Structure 1
Amino acid sequence: MPPGPDLSVSPAEPERDASSACEADGEEARQRPDAAALYAAEAPRLWRFFRRRIPCPDEADDLVQETFTRALRQGARSSLRNPGGYLTRIAQNLLRDRAKIARRRSADLHVPADGEIPAAADPLHLLEVRDMLDRLEAVMLELPKTTREIFMAHRLEGLTYAEIARRTGLTIKQVEKAIARAMVELDRALGSR
């Protein structure tokens, strides 16, 4: 994990005499919770929180930094009873924002499958895609019924091997073999042009 934000830097202040500067710095330190200690205590927990939800460790690091940046941007919260909970709420909001952005991006890329050709679509590319889909459909129809149903249950319904095994009465190993067989046939169909 990268080092925490440098919280010791403060904006330039007008010159003060030495005694008032020391008093003000002491008062500011008492009002602001020790951000470095808070970072040391909470950053590993937040990193694990993000890693459970995001596959990339670098993104988790960035989100931990963003969480603390947002918390510090909100100002001194010395009256917080549960700073860990506050940081968790910020982390959840970051993930929610990230999901909204991803949904918007995927909506922009969505092409309806009702047969209408988008105006700017490349006709050659569309023919290649239709040809690939035709080959995939032909291969799927050639698969044994059980293999096809197992593959569809896993890929389309998102069932686990164990759930498929319970549903079909097969062993998990048989389910694995059926899915592998289907994948080999589909790969062979896509590889032959």
Structure 2
Amino acid sequence: MAGLPQMLDKARRAILRKGVAVQDADDLVQEAFLRVEAFERTQTVKSPEALLIRTAVNLSFDMARRRKVAPFVDMGDDAGTARDHTPLPDEILRGQERLQRAAQGLERLPEKTRRILLSRRLDGKSFKEIAAAEGMTVAAVEKQVARATLELTKWMEAW
């Protein structure tokens, strides 16, 4: 098996052949190496070299796809400064109104349906757990959740 420098060089050459810019090649190879190293901690790898090269090539494809969608990112004049991600007052108001509308939609649901939906969505209970608690079949609980979700979606869209 080749040594680490030779493996990294092969991966670098492979992605350069795929059209990766020279200034990006080392970063991609490093990212690929870190991913392969993390993967090897939990899995047995027959050919680390092949996995490293494949990972680097896949990362280069991912980078190319991202650049097609967003070929450049304009950092603007305030690059490097912290941005405030606090929502604007009108966004807060719209969010509160939307939440109030959703609460009204929940109130319109039958008690049992509302209880089942909230158990699933808020409490994170499985269909099986809810079925046991409600004395229903799993399929019946799934249908209740689906119907309630559909009804709430229509309620919110009508707003």
Q: Under a length normalisation based on structure 2, what TM-score does the superposition of the two structures give?
A: 0.50
Choose 1 or 2 for highest CA Rg.
1
* Greater RCO, 1 or 2 (C-alpha within 8 Å, sep 6+): 2
Q: Under a length normalisation based on structure 1, what TM-score does the superposition of the two structures give?
A: 0.42
